[in-house]
Structure 1
Amino acid sequence: MTTSKWYMVLRRILDNPDFRASKRIRLAIYMLMVILVYAILLSSVLPPKYHLAVGQVSPVTIRSPITTVNTQATEEARQEAMAHVPKQYVQSPAVLEQALQQIDELYNAAISESTDKSLSQAQRIESLQSIAPKGVSMATLQALSTLSSQDVGILQSVSERIVKELLGVPFYSDSLQQASLLVDRQMLNYDLNRVSRLIVQNVVSSVLKPNMIYQKQATEAAREAAAKSVANIMIHQGDVIVAKNGIVTNSVQSELMDVGLYSGHPNFGIVFGFALYVILSVGLLAAYVERRDPRRRLDNLMLLVLLIVFVLVSILIALTKSVVDSGPSAAPFLMPISLGAMLVSVMMDGSLAGVTSFYFSFLVAAAFGFQFEYVLYSFIGSLVGAYSVGRVTSRSTFMRAGFLVSGVNVISVLATHFMQMDNGASFHDLSVHLGLALLNGVLSAVLVMGILPFFETTFGLLTAIRLLELSNPNHPLLRKVLLEAPGTYHHSLIVGNLAEAAAELVGADPLICRVGAYYHDVGKTRRPMFFVENQMTKENPHEKIAPSLSHLIITSHVTDGLVMLQRAGLPKPIQDICATHHGTTILWYFYNKAKEMDKNGTVRVDDFRYPGPKPKTRECAIVMICDAIEAAVRSMARPTPNRVEGVIRKIIKDRLQDGQLDECDLTLQDLDVMVSAFMKTLKGIYHSRIEYPDIDKLRKEVGK
């Protein structure tokens, strides 16, 4: 099957009323929107994964996508703080008491034995040894046993004082290693002989023990408090974890794990959360679309176009995010996100484009970590782009819209730059952002102009640009009408003016009405002389043929015109205007003529009706009424305002009574408002003119 045949098949499917109205297809389009947007943007929402070994060279510059705690650096800082906390001790008075008790027991025993003459020297030494502290030497005991009770009392007093001096203050394990030296220093304060010094030094040194008791729980609590006092060391969003060609270290690997960029299992929380995010966004959009006024509700074809626009914007966001991940962080400022809203505004309407601007900025937010500056930038640009192309009069409208978007983008960049309290952006960075913002709007406008013809051709959409192109008098069909049926061409122009004026007052599309009116009678070019506006002489070919044949010729201009429009590829709304501009009205002239010629009474009025169908849209109904009004007013001998208004109201009344307007949504109020529009337009066309004098007669009189 050739490409053209595939295209024709596609167009038949898309133009099928069942396709456009099916609720199942409508639901399927919404579900497909969720699936495609989710699939396209999931990789942009999920942070990229890297598997870099320690010592490996990084192939790219990796920046943190989030702000989080640097676990390794924070832990190292806390360990260092804990190491600086000394061990916790408490001084025990029991150590001093025990030392004094041991000294007193030894010296008291020595005094007691010195007065007991019944004991031998060996027995004294043995008795002293049994109660002496473990560190007292035999030489000390021997010397002590030979001293008198008075001398022992002096040594006891000195020993007690030294012990109190040393153990009355904190005495640690380290001090115990220098016990002898500490005792010697204390003895400098006393006048003792050499033997006495040795006895005191040995006895005191033997009873000295550390009086500072280690408090394990208190030490751990102090260290935990010191660790908690250390603030978290943060990795800020946008910080470079490792530069391109940089060496991967343990700390780099740890930071990659902290920010979720190290390869491993996917983050199922983000996967599930983004699914809910997309479902909620599309669901709210669907609720808005379905609750719109029936006149502005999208059929399935336009809903499919909206789906493609969402897919296009999603691809654009995903591509921009991939560029940002590879290095240039300023790429979002060049992303022509307003493209989507501008397309929706041109192909659908501005209010829907304004709503979709919210959702496009939501998708940008999800892909770029909900950074405020990107969300604000994309939303304002999209909103301005949507409303700046709301009324397209030429392709230059897009460029004006592009410049307007660029200007607003610059203001948005400056606003977010000055609003950031911790803004560390350099003047160079700001200049780059402003330059990209300027290019953004122009790029969006260029892309819209390039993409729009694809939608117009593929889906047969009737955009303002397409309508303006079709209204060009040099279009082959219009030129054919002008050359072969000039009366019909003039009639179509007037019908177009009438229809446009009426449409502006009742909320219909004026441009569709005008262009549809230009093409509604192209079928008359098949047999132009059978239509009174093209008859240059008084001969009427219908006078020579039967009324039934005249009926076939007259009504065939509708089907002939529809075939010509289909072959020329004109959009369906224009075809609908051509097919319905007579509805199922009756050709009363030929019916009356046939009835006068019929002697058997077999003529039926329904045999002289147009094949239809009846108008189903406001635009079709307006062109039908304008076509009848222009023909009726043109045939009037004296078109005074009162008579013209009477004819207009009679035509509208006849169409209502005949049921021609039953299937469209024009109200009686709309019809009444349209009368004033018709009167203003017709007054400018069929106004009264002064009667000019006979020029030849005046010349003869002047010559006389």
Structure 2
Amino acid sequence: MEKLQQHFIRIRKLLDISFFRILFFIVLGLVLYTAMYTNVKPEKLDVDLFSVAEKTIRSPGTVEDKKSTERKRAEARNQVQPVYTLKNEYAQNRVDLISSIFNAASEVNDEISENMKESEEETAEDHLPTSEPSTAEKITMLTGKLTPTVTKDLSNQVFTALVQASNDELSIAKDLTVTAINNVMTKRIPADEVENAKKSLEEELKYTALNDHLRMAAIELGRYAVIQNEFYDPTATEELRQKAAESVEPVKILQGQVIVEEGELIDQEIYRQLKLVGLLQNEKTYKPFIGLIILIVIMLSAIYYNFYLMKSSLPEKKQTYLLLFGLIFILSIFLMKIISLLQFYNYPWIGYLFPAALAGMLLKILIDEKLAILTSVILSLCGSILFNEGVSGTLNFSVGFYILFSSLAGILYLSNQNRRSRILQAGLFAAMVNLMTLLAVMFLPNGHFSGIEYGYYFIAALVSGLISAVLTIGLLPFFEASFGILSTMRLIELSNPNHPLLRKILMEAPGTYHHSVMVANLAESACEAIGANGLLARVGSYYHDIGKTKRPHFFIENQMNQDNPHDRLTPDKSASIIIAHAVDGANILRKYQMPKEIVDIAEQHHGTSLLQFFYHKELQMNPHSKIKEEDFRYPGPKAQSKECAVIGIADSVEAAVRSIPNPTPELIESLVKKIIADRIQDGQLNECDLTMKEIETVSYTLCETLKGIFHSRIEYPELTKKVKQA
């Protein structure tokens, strides 16, 4: 394990260099590309035209079939009937024309009557007879009032009948003829129905009460008036055909659609579709690979940006976390790929066996929740590609949602408590979420499954949650030990009073144990007030004086009813014993393979501060000798983290306040400020990133906590009296 840890440390140091960080992300990208390459690679088939399909072939993606689309649009255009427009004005025009002919005949009669009167008046004086114009003359008068076209199209019998009829007869004939024309012409009359329309008019006039000649004239005039009034409209027809063509949806070969069934003949149409979706050997495309590269770049960019924004007091922690993330992520992709290969055995439920919550829970415990959630999203995307059921380039959204919800369930369940027993509960909770997610994705598309199939899916969901928990519990100690990660769960375990080292302190140095607990309370509240790791401060305080167990009676808190051994020692010897407890503590913690953060607290909580009591005592005893101040200082190093600095302050403050017989709030406040000021002046806080504002907050918090601990107690007179009597 130590050798492995050393290898990880070397790799972590390499990641401090930008080139190797970039190389690290390139390796992650290559792992992702290699894992998903076969799942996006278009399937190529070696099939011949008019051969028999050896297996059922499905489309790997959605492609528009433009040829079929154009064919359907042409069919839609052809199904549109020609548009014919009814010319309503034609009916009125023809009615007016026939009316004008009858009116012209009436005018002829009126003119003849007028001429006859004038002639009779002129010839009455001469007693000569007045002669009426002949029929031919009347016809000439009538045709003179009409256009050549009309006179040409109508027979002479029509004009004869009109000029021979009286005005009353003409009026009746006109009304009957116009009414019949109007009745027929208001209906649609296409070119091939003109004759039928004329016959219809003829039938309407055939049985009128007109004389034979006038009736025949009316019929001929009616037939002459009836013409085509419905005409083909090319513009309207083309507009309708265009709308019909546009209403046709593009024909698409959908992803997963069966193109040819097993045993079916591959005809020209099927062969064309296979070529269209790119399944033939002679069809090459790079689009899926470009899409995969783009997706990988997006995912890795999100990861890089997350680490770029990650807050960490020590820069090397980022590199440690990056390396740890890389191992967990690659492990998840490896497991996902191995399980996805089993899809070829036609197990549709195999993707739900993947331990989806594993990576999320490990990252939540070892690094932080934000990275764990981001990784869950990325793994869900990868899972939707890797578990695409053998259809290249497709996305299995059901498995993607399943992985996402399962991982989030494990992460959120661990949010409040990170005890190791909580991991198994989180796995069970993830299994329950798996079952609910499975029911959702199975019911949404109205799927139909047998009882055995439901059983397989549900067993896979339960196993996924349980395996996630088991692997998390199994891998957690390995990652913690290999990377020196001090997780919240590890801290909680180290705070257990039954820990061998804590029992060692309690049994061998009970005063130190009590002092450590008091320091823990002070340091935790102060660290939480400035946003530092309060739990680390508490646990580190428990172990910070473990070195005193080597010589417990040389420390005042353990000297109960005993002489002080320092009274018999020289100041320099006493100083060396006191100073040694920091070094001894660090060595003991290293021996027990305690986390580096805990070792640093034991080693750094005194920094390089001066043992003033023994130093001044040495000066008084040997005023003329050359005494080096360094011999009475702790070896350090100075506090490198906020937690270490706060624990050092809390350690000094607790010991100082405890030594006061009757501490008052004012005295406590004055003492705390003096100790902090001395540490600042001595430069003990120079190497940690505590700001002056945070130091002020620490001072205030320590004072408030100490006031609560050393508050004035009420003396109960009755109880005191009984005690005195006893």
Range into which the TM-score falls when normalised by the shorter chain: 0.5 to 0.7
- Range with greater deviation from structure 2 (519-528 or 325-334): 325-334
- Of residues 548, 571, 593 in structure 1, which corresponds to 2:595? 571
Seen in structure 2, the aligned counterparts of structure 1 residues 626 and 62 have a Cα distance that, compared at 3 Å, is farther
CA contact (8 A) 1:508 1:619 kept: yes
CA contact (8 A) 1:70 1:235 kept: no
CA contact (8 A) 2:33 2:292 kept: yes
**Other structure's SS at 2:310 match:** coil
Question: What is aligned with 1:363?
Answer: 382
- Of residues 553, 557, 576 in structure 2, which corresponds to 1:533? 557
Q: Does 1:698 align with 2:725?
A: yes
Instruction: Give, as a single letter, the amino acid of the residue that structure 2 aligns with 1:673.
Output: T
Question: What is aligned with 2:336?
Answer: 317
CA contact (8 A) 2:356 2:465 kept: no
The structural deviation recorded for 1:513 is: 1.4
Instruction: Give, as a single letter, the amino acid of the residue that structure 2 aligns with 1:288.
Output: N
Question: What is aligned with 1:554?
Answer: 578
Task: Return the alpha-carbon distance in structure 2 between the equivalents of residues 660 and 20 of structure 1.
Answer: 31
Seen in structure 2, the aligned counterparts of structure 1 residues 247 and 449 have a Cα distance that, compared at 3 Å, is farther
Task: Return the alpha-carbon distance in structure 2 between the equivalents of residues 48 and 452 of structure 1.
Answer: 40
Task: Return the alpha-carbon distance in structure 2 between the equivalents of residues 47 and 454 of structure 1.
Answer: 40
Question: What is aligned with 2:204?
Answer: none
Instruction: Give, as a single letter, the amino acid of the residue that structure 1 aligns with 2:363.
Output: V
* Residue pairs, 1:17-416, within 5 angstroms: 18=13, 21-46=16-41, 65-67=60-62, 234=253, 236-237=255-256, 250=266, 268-295=286-313, 298-367=317-386, 368=388, 369-416=394-441
CA contact (8 A) 1:37 1:310 kept: no
Task: Return the alpha-carbon distance in structure 2 between the equivalents of residues 26 and 620 of structure 1.
Answer: 30
Task: Return the alpha-carbon distance in structure 2 between the equivalents of residues 585 and 410 of structure 1.
Answer: 60
The structural deviation recorded for 1:282 is: 0.8
Deviations 1:92-142 (A, max 9, x none): xxxxxxxxxxxxxxxxxxxxxxxxxxxxxxxxxxxxxxxxxxxxxxxxxxx
Question: What is aligned with 2:91?
Answer: none
Task: Return the alpha-carbon distance in structure 1 between the equivalents of residues 625 and 57 of structure 2.
Answer: 93
- Structure 2, unmatched stretches of 5+, are 79-243, 389-393
Task: Return the alpha-carbon distance in structure 2 between the equivalents of residues 240 and 457 of structure 1.
Answer: 55
The structural deviation recorded for 1:549 is: 2.2
Seen in structure 2, the aligned counterparts of structure 1 residues 234 and 44 have a Cα distance that, compared at 3 Å, is closer
Question: What is aligned with 1:589?
Answer: 613
The structural deviation recorded for 1:648 is: 2.1
Task: Return the alpha-carbon distance in structure 1 between the equivalents of residues 249 and 532 of structure 2.
Answer: 69
Deviations 1:559-600 (A, max 9, x none): 121122112111111111112111111111111111212222
CA contact (8 A) 2:339 2:350 kept: yes
The structural deviation recorded for 1:512 is: 1.5
CA contact (8 A) 1:498 1:626 kept: yes
- Range with greater deviation from structure 2 (437-446 or 457-466): 437-446
**Other structure's SS at 1:303 match:** helix
**% identity of equivalent residues:** 36
Q: Does 1:489 align with 2:507?
A: no
TM-score by length of 1: 0.67
CA contact (8 A) 1:562 1:578 kept: yes
Question: What is aligned with 2:130?
Answer: none
Question: What is aligned with 2:684?
Answer: 660
**Other structure's SS at 2:320 match:** helix
Instruction: Give, as a single letter, the amino acid of the residue that structure 1 aligns with 2:484.
Output: G
Question: What is aligned with 1:97?
Answer: none
* Residue pairs, 1:573-652, within 5 angstroms: 573-600=597-624, 602-652=626-676
CA contact (8 A) 2:608 2:638 kept: yes
The structural deviation recorded for 1:525 is: 1.7
CA contact (8 A) 1:506 1:673 kept: yes
Task: Return the alpha-carbon distance in structure 1 between the equivalents of residues 18 and 401 of structure 2.
Answer: 36
The structural deviation recorded for 1:308 is: 0.8
Q: Does 1:498 align with 2:522?
A: yes
Instruction: Give, as a single letter, the amino acid of the residue that structure 1 aligns with 2:310.
Output: R
TM-score by length of 2: 0.65
Task: Return the alpha-carbon distance in structure 2 between the equivalents of residues 264 and 232 of structure 1.
Answer: 24
Task: Return the alpha-carbon distance in structure 1 between the equivalents of residues 323 and 9 of structure 2.
Answer: 15
- Range with greater deviation from structure 2 (301-310 or 409-418): 409-418
The structural deviation recorded for 1:19 is: 5.2
Seen in structure 2, the aligned counterparts of structure 1 residues 253 and 492 have a Cα distance that, compared at 3 Å, is farther
The structural deviation recorded for 1:239 is: 5.5
Instruction: Give, as a single letter, the amino acid of the residue that structure 2 aligns with 1:347.
Output: L
- Range with greater deviation from structure 2 (408-417 or 337-346): 408-417
Seen in structure 2, the aligned counterparts of structure 1 residues 380 and 230 have a Cα distance that, compared at 3 Å, is closer
Deviations 1:604-651 (A, max 9, x none): 433322111122222222222221222112212112233223222222
Q: C-alpha root-mean-square deviation of aligned residues, in Å?
A: 4.0
- Range with greater deviation from structure 2 (589-598 or 464-473): 464-473
Seen in structure 2, the aligned counterparts of structure 1 residues 424 and 415 have a Cα distance that, compared at 3 Å, is closer
CA contact (8 A) 2:521 2:538 kept: yes
Q: Does 1:461 align with 2:485?
A: yes
Question: What is aligned with 1:6?
Answer: 3
- Range with greater deviation from structure 2 (659-668 or 563-572): 659-668
The structural deviation recorded for 1:14 is: 6.6
- Structure 1, unmatched stretches of 5+, are 86-224, 700-704
Deviations 1:135-185 (A, max 9, x none): xxxxxxxxxxxxxxxxxxxxxxxxxxxxxxxxxxxxxxxxxxxxxxxxxxx
Seen in structure 2, the aligned counterparts of structure 1 residues 238 and 670 have a Cα distance that, compared at 3 Å, is farther
CA contact (8 A) 2:278 2:284 kept: no
Instruction: Give, as a single letter, the amino acid of the residue that structure 2 aligns with 1:566.
Output: R
CA contact (8 A) 2:571 2:615 kept: yes
Question: What is aligned with 2:173?
Answer: none
Seen in structure 2, the aligned counterparts of structure 1 residues 44 and 611 have a Cα distance that, compared at 3 Å, is farther
Instruction: Give, as a single letter, the amino acid of the residue that structure 2 aligns with 1:359.
Output: I
Question: What is aligned with 1:132?
Answer: none
The structural deviation recorded for 1:397 is: 2.2
Task: Return the alpha-carbon distance in structure 2 between the equivalents of residues 13 and 468 of structure 1.
Answer: 29
Seen in structure 2, the aligned counterparts of structure 1 residues 240 and 78 have a Cα distance that, compared at 3 Å, is closer
- Range with greater deviation from structure 2 (358-367 or 435-444): 435-444
Task: Return the alpha-carbon distance in structure 2 between the equivalents of residues 684 and 660 of structure 1.
Answer: 28
**Other structure's SS at 2:720 match:** coil
Deviations 1:51-100 (A, max 9, x none): 79977977xx98655445799xx99x989x99xx9xxxxxxxxxxxxxxx
**Other structure's SS at 1:637 match:** coil
CA contact (8 A) 1:14 1:459 kept: no
The structural deviation recorded for 1:318 is: 1.4
- Range with greater deviation from structure 2 (587-596 or 660-669): 660-669
Instruction: Give, as a single letter, the amino acid of the residue that structure 1 aligns with 2:410.
Output: G
Deviations 1:474-515 (A, max 9, x none): 322222222222221222222222222222222222221121
CA contact (8 A) 2:486 2:595 kept: yes
**Other structure's SS at 2:561 match:** coil
Task: Return the alpha-carbon distance in structure 1 between the equivalents of residues 349 and 60 of structure 2.
Answer: 14
Seen in structure 2, the aligned counterparts of structure 1 residues 319 and 67 have a Cα distance that, compared at 3 Å, is farther
Task: Return the alpha-carbon distance in structure 1 between the equivalents of residues 367 and 252 of structure 2.
Answer: 51
Question: What is aligned with 1:204?
Answer: none
